[in-house]
Each structure stands twice: as C-alpha cells, then as structure tokens.
Chains A and B, each alone.
Chain A
Amino acid sequence: MPRGALAAICVAGVIASAARAQEPTQRPMGGAKPDSSLQWTLGAQAIGVVTRASPAHANRALTEGYLTQPMVMGSLTTAGGRIAVEAMLDFEGITLERGELDAGMSGEGYIDRRHPHTYLHELVASVSGTESETAYSLAFGKGFVPYGSDDPMVRPFEKYPINHHISQIVERLLATAAVRRGPVLVEAARFNGDEPESPSDLPNRNRLWDSWAGRATLLPTPELEMQASTARVKSPEVPRGGGLDQRKLSVSLRYESVPAGVMPPMPGMPGMSMSAGSDMDSNDSAPSGKLVEWQQYLLVEWGRSSDYDAGSRVFSYSSMLAEGEVRHMGVAFAARLERTERPEEERLANPFRTPRPPPDFSILGRTRWDIATARLSAIAHESRFGTLTPFIEVARQHATALATPSGFDPRAFYGSDRMWSFSVGVAYTIGMIHKRTGGYGAAARNMTGMAMPGTVPMSAVSEGSH
C-alpha cells in the first residue's frame, strides 16, 4: 500500500475519532479534577499551501504547492495528570520530501527549503509530583529538548523562521528533569546530538545522551514568560560523531493574553482549559476559536549557535527575531521581523540540497538574512468536523554575504539579493492541537490562546476519558 494511502487512512481515523470526541455527550472532566481515570486528547492538522518564491534560484521564480505540517497528535494522562504521554506523528516525509520553499532556511541537507520532519516527531512519557509548593517531573522519550523557544509549528506563521536550528532542538531521544516553584521553572536534559538523517531515522545508539541542555524560565504572570537556555550539542551534522560540536544560547520573552475562563496550568499537571466553577460539561462553557475579546501574542528572541572544533570556536551564527499576532473574532494579523546568519555550503546538483554529512569542516561563506513577514488569516468554518482557516503570508528577504571574499554571492546565485515570497493556503485542524512544545510534566506552561495557523484555543478540544 502506498505510503500516502497509509497516511490518509491514519488521518481519516483521527478525524473520525476527534469528531466523535467533540460530541457534547463525550465531553470529559478534562484534567480539572485529579483522579486516576485515563484521559486522552487527540487532534490532527494539515495545511494546504501554494508558495511563490521570486527569485528562488538563478533569477527564476518557482511556484509550488504542498500539504505541509500534516500531523496527528495526542496525549494520555492518568493519576490526576501526574503520569502523561505526549505524542505527535508528522507525515511530512510523505508530503514534503522535496522540502518547502523558504528562502534563507537551511538544515539537514536542505537549503532555501525547509526539510521534512521525522514521522515520529514526539513520543514522551512523564511522571510528575509535588512536594510542598514545588512541582517536579521526569520525562523520557523522543521529542523537544528544553532549549530555546517554541517550535515554529505552534506559532502563528506557516513559513518557519530560518533560525529553526539556532533556536530549537527537536526530535531527539531525551531525558528531561524539571522543577517548578512559584514563577521559576528550571529544566535540564540529556539527549543525542545527531540530527535526523531522514524522516524515518531514529537517534543513533552510539550517540545517546552525549549532549545536554538547560533552560530557566520565569513566569511572573500567566501571560508572560522569559527564558534563558543553553545547550551543548555533539556533532549534530555528522551522525556517527566526530564532526563539529555546537554550543547554543537562547534568551526570549513571550507574552500571550489569556482569554477569560482559561486557567493556566497547575504545577505538575498539563495545562487545561475550563470554565471557572464548572465541570466543562458542554462546548458552550469553553471559549471557541472566535473569541469575542482581543487576543495578543508577542515573542522576542535572540539566539546564537557556534561551531566548535576540539574546544575552539570556528564559526558562529546568531539570530534576532520579533513576532506578534493580534486576533479578534477569528481574524488574525501577524508580523515577524528576523535577522539570522547561516552558513553557505556546497550544493548538490539539486541547488536546494547540500551533502549530509558534509565532506569536511569547511563552508563556502556566511550570509545574513533580513526577513520581514506579514500574515492575515480568518477562521472560515468551524464545526465538530474541524476548523478551516484560510491565510495569506507575504515575506521579503534580503541576503548579505558576510565574508570577503566569499564563496557565495547571493546576488549572483539567486539573481538578486532581495526576494519575495507569497503564500496562500488553508489550515485544517480538528481536535486538540498542541499549542506549546517541549514542556513536559512540571514544565507544562500556558497552553492556551494563540495557536498554530488557523487553529483554535485548546478549549475546543478533543478529549476523552475511560
């Protein structure tokens, strides 16, 4: 059976389950009351998008269509939320094998295209507890390393920022410990340093636990988060080891308005939505995707990833990014400004691919990318069968060579050092969509409000219990 058919069957099953779970008669207690029942959530999403990049390469424009970010996600919790499993399947390996046009993006053998993620994007189990006013947890599995900001897939834009490999570390086999007391959250993790080599790739056994990360987060209000994090990643681009190591730094500030009636997460429990004083026994009790009140989201971040050879720094790439979104009555406007540096590498016959692993430790040069992106979206349809959100995104990119002389001249390679990107599409979501990434157990943070392109707040979720 073709892989696409398998994926379609899988997604159809999820949609059916999620639609059934959204029937009012099956609305559960959510996580509101700690008990030993098994509770679950399920959701799915996919984005159909057409992108025109001009110029994309050699003074030629490219127009391509994709089914991007096709994902199924779910969670299981029991023991009052103290035992939890988070899971995400990502089918980009089927729908996005050639990569998605995204000028300035690079990583995992793709350049100026975003690479597909692995099929098993996340499968992490966590055990949480509390002692006095301190919550703590241990998490284990494949997922998001506690470093940097949220993965771009749970942020407002369809097009990823190009700092993805500077500001996030994803798809690693990890063991994370988290401790939260009051507004202070501290996480530490060990994980495998090697990046995935293909969508079906699993972490290499000889690389387990060779890397580490730590993140400190301050949550002074339910709306505000400030994090500083660092990571030491062994040989990410040479899977068998022996390549350049990376040292990463990230600091960020995140603000997100909390809709009335949405409760921030309890220490040691996953964040849930509920109507204060109610048992959430009907859809009406929870805020919908078309909240009447205004919602705002803001993220400002700085990150740096440096390559080290035997303890000596040889290359360094930094990034600054600010993005925000305002939403009212299901209509949202978002804007993003980004300045990120990247290495230029030898390209294959396909100009959007680079050899992985690289054949040595050298690069062609470094470029700085300045990118401004704007997005407008509106919820067009919302029912128990899902939400449809059309959107349009426009981006303007400017590439500047930093090394002189450089082995890479953006103006000559692209035909101009200034490019446009236009994207039009529709996001489809059903059920519970993860709104945050990488916060396991006691590290679960505000999981409400602003969401993926076209998605609804967590209150309109697919949940069940047994």
Chain B
Amino acid sequence: MSLGYRRHAPVVLLALLSAAGGCNASDPVVAPPSPPPPSAPALHVDGQGAVPDRYTAELWIRGDVGYTTTWGTRSTANGVTRGNAVNIWNVAGPAPVLVDSILVADATTLGDIQVSDDGKLLVVATEFTPGSIVIYDLANPLKPQLISRFSNGDTTPGVHTAEVQRVNGKLYAFLSIDPGGGQAAKLVIVDLSNPASPTQVFVRTMGNPYVHDVYVREGILMTALWNDGISIFDIGGGGKGGSVANPVLLGSARTVGGKVHNIWWYHDASGNKRYAFVGEEGSGSIGSSAIGDIHVVDVSDLTAPREVAFFDIPGAGTHNFSMDEARGILFAAFYNAGVTALDVRGDLGGCDATMKSSDGRCDLGKMSRELGRGLADVGFPVYVWGVQSVGAKIYASDMLNGLWKIETVP
C-alpha cells in the first residue's frame, strides 16, 4: 500500500462521515405531509369538553350520558398521568360537561368502552399486564358501580378492544388480546350472562401479528387481523353450524396495505348487507401524523369477500367508525384530519375509469362521496380516536383535546 493511500484514507472516511452527517441534518423526520384543507364542507362544532391532563381514547354515548376512556402516559406541565380514568359526561347541552371520573386500578390504558344494548352494563378493556375487562352496573348511568373484573392467563398482557354484543339472546364480550410474553395475539370470548361472574367460552390464536378488533352482528363475527386482513365466521347466524364457542370460518380477504384495525358491516335502510368498511391503521406519531385508508369490502357473499373501493385522506390515517345507517352515512375518525362523513349509499364498487385507482378499486374521494369534514378547522391540532353517531349529532373523542359534539349535516 502506498504511503499516499494511507495518508488519504482517513480523510476520505471523515469526508464520508461529514456527508452522512449532512444527510442526518437534512433528513431528520419521516412523516407524511399534513392533510390538505378539506374540499368537503365543514361539519359544525356544537361544543367541546376539554381533557387536558390525559389522552382521551374511545367513547360511548347513551342518551344524555357519555363515557370516554384514557390512554397511555401523558406528560404535561402539571405532571405525568396514566390512561387509567373513565370520564363521565353530561352531553345534553351543546358542549359535553365532565361530571365525574372513575379510576381503574392496575391499568395504563383503557382502550375500549361500551354500554350493553340494554343499557345495564358498562364494559371497559384494560392494558397492560394484567389485561382485563372491568364491568360496571349502570343503574345510575352517572355513577357506575363495579360489578366484577375478568382477567386470566389468556387476557395477558392486555385487552386491546372489547366488543359487547348479543348472540342468540345471550350477551358476550369479544376480547382482542395483545401479543406478548411469548404468546401470540388471541381472540377471547366471554359470556356476560352473569356479569358478576363472567365465563370464558372461547379462545383462539389469530392475527398477524395482531387481532385488533371484531364486529359482531346477526350471528356473524368479523375479525380484524392486521396483515391477514379480515376473516368472517359463523357464530350462530351463518347457517354453517357455528357457535360462539365454536366459530366456523366462512371466508377471508386481505385488503390493500393490510394493517386491518376495525370493521363495520353496513346494513342499509333497505336491508342490503353488501359492504363492510375496514379501517387500516398505519404508522403514526400521536398528535402529529397518521397513515391509513378506509377500505370497502364487498361481503355480499360471506364466503368470498373482496375489496372494491377505498377512501384516502393524504397525510392522515383513519381509526374507528360509526354509522347513521338509516341515512347511509359513514362517520370515520381520521386522527390528525378530524372526522369525515361519507355517503355510502348505493353501489360503491361501480365507477368509471377516471374514479379508479391503478389497481381497479373505486376511489370514494374521486366519486365525491365525502359529505363533510369535522374538526379540521378548529385552529389547533386534533387527533381523533373514535366517533359515534347519535341521532342528528356525532360525538368525537380527540386524544389531545377531549370530547367534541358535532352537527352531522354541513
């Protein structure tokens, strides 16, 4: 080796390091651009109930009472708080009013919350170790009373979501369990017939790598299996001999991009049950960025579901859904883009070539299906987790700011 080579080699590498450092300086952040201003009309905001000390997660509204959960660890100037609170709201007026809170022991996140269809029970999912569901009596909706807490080895390390639905007259909770501790993600089904003593009736490993949520209706179970898409099971309503304790697989579909997070099976006003809406939860940074589309899956044949359309907001990602089925409006939480309202009546899989993506799916945006957008114009960042349609209003849970009440028609 020449002396000159020896002399110059470190200089060359230092120059390389400097160049790399330059790359470092110019490329510090990978985040999608902020969502552009919506072209759809703004949904009018009635009012806001602020929650500045914790991150707000899921919501459930019944009558004039609302419940919101809290998520993760939030650090503010006033200290560090955990997502272990259920906030109770009076939503009768224009702005939700916080009236009380419940603290759940041994929880850092309360992801999901739901009131049973008869209004008697409030069920809350808890993460992390130990994962559980906490069941409250709602004889007085403003003062939930603890009935029981269900937890076992199958619910560890956390219950990510808990869907409460009735199948053939019996009330069940469908728990999506986080992977961890060497265990894969699981679906656990719990019989809530005796809420003081819930009984597990089913457990199965599923999801790649997660099962994040389910949708249950008329004896059909639809599971959100992340990279494995959706799977549809007969649990008593599919005519294939399935039951809650022994679900029978009917069909599966993988949606574009995977990361299937949530599902809503739409039954329209005329009784058609053709479409399921699927939420894709991509990568996001809480408060500032998100990615993920709404996928429309034709489930008219439950044994052969297929994706036919999608809706995308550039620079934003979708999360949970709610529907006004009578009017054919899908409301979708869209994290950093607020809430969107989509007209989903009629044929969503039929569109002309100018409205299709390169892979042949119809683009609901190009089909002018967006009716309105909420919370995109409030003047400060929002990060909307969930939405619920109740009559002529929708309620939106905003991780950063609390609970919003919004008009549904622009």
Name A's B-contacting residues (CB within 8 A): 57-58, 182-183, 197-198, 218, 220-221, 224, 226, 228, 235, 238-244, 249, 251-253, 255, 300-302, 304, 306-307, 309-310, 313-316, 318, 320, 341, 346-349, 351, 355-357, 359-366, 368, 402-409, 412-413
Contact = CB atoms under 8 A, between A and B. Distances in A.
B30 A316 contact: yes
Nearest to B25: A318
A24 B254 CA distance: 69
A197 B289 CA distance: 29
Nearest to A228: B16
A244 B227 CA distance: 11
Contacts of B108: 346-349
A314 B77 contact: no
Interface string B32-75: 00000000000000000000000100000000000000011111
Interface footprint category on B: 35 or more
Interface in B288-307: 288-291
Contact of A355 (B158, B259, B285): B158
Given A242-B208, A253-B13, A409 B29 contact: no
Given A307-B283, A364-B285, A412 B76 contact: yes
Contacts of A220: 1, 5-6, 9-10
Interface string B278-292: 000111111111110
B118 interface: no
B13 A346 contact: no
Contact of B283 (A226, A238, A309): A309
Interface in B2-24: 5-6, 9-10, 12-14, 16-17, 20-21, 23-24
B282 A406 contact: no
Contacts of B1: 182-183, 220
Nearest to B8: A220
A301 B16 CA distance: 10
Contacts of B178: 355, 359
Interface in B170-190: 178-182, 184
A147 B93 CA distance: 61
Given A244-B283, A251-B20, A365-B285, A315 B30 contact: yes
A318 B29 CA distance: 10
Given A241-B209, A357-B209, A407 B30 contact: no
A366 B16 CA distance: 26
Given A309-B283, A406-B288, A407-B74, 17 more contacts: A226-B9, A228-B16, A235-B209, A310-B258, A316-B28, A320-B24, A341-B28, A348-B108, A349-B128, A355-B178, A359-B127, A362-B286, A366-B29, A406-B286, A407-B285, A409-B75, A412-B77
B31 interface: yes
Contact of B285 (A239, A252, A359, A403): A403
21 contacts: A220-B10, A226-B13, A240-B209, A242-B226, A255-B10, A314-B30, A314-B291, A316-B29, A316-B30, A318-B27, A351-B73, A355-B128, A357-B179, A361-B283, A362-B281, A363-B284, A363-B285, A365-B285, A368-B28, A403-B288, A405-B287
Given A253-B17, A320-B24, A355-B128, A306 B30 contact: yes
Contacts of B226: 242
B282 A407 contact: no
Contacts of A318: 23-24, 27-28
B157 interface: yes
B328 interface: no
Tell me if A's interface is mostly helix, strand, loop or mixed: loop
B257 interface: yes
Contact of B109 (A58, A243, A346): A346
A195 B172 CA distance: 37
A58 B79 CA distance: 7
B16 A356 contact: no
B400 interface: yes
Q: Which of B20, B287, B288 has the largest count of A CB atoms less than 10 A from its CB?
A: B20
Contacts of A253: 10, 13-14, 17
Contact of A365 (B23, B80, B282, B287): B287
- Sorted nearest first, the 10 A-B pairs with minimum C-beta distance are A407-B286, A412-B75, A413-B75, A314-B283, A242-B209, A302-B20, A226-B13, A405-B287, A362-B284, A361-B283
Contacts of B286: 362-365, 406-407
Nearest to B259: A361
B82 interface: yes
A300 B17 contact: yes
Nearest to A316: B30
Contacts of B258: 310
B405 interface: no
B356 interface: no
Contacts of B212: 360
Q: Which of A241, A307, A357 has the largest count of B CB atoms less than 10 A from its CB?
A: A357
Contact of A302 (B21, B72, B75): B21
Contact of A240 (B179, B282, B285): B179
B101 interface: no
B180 A355 contact: yes
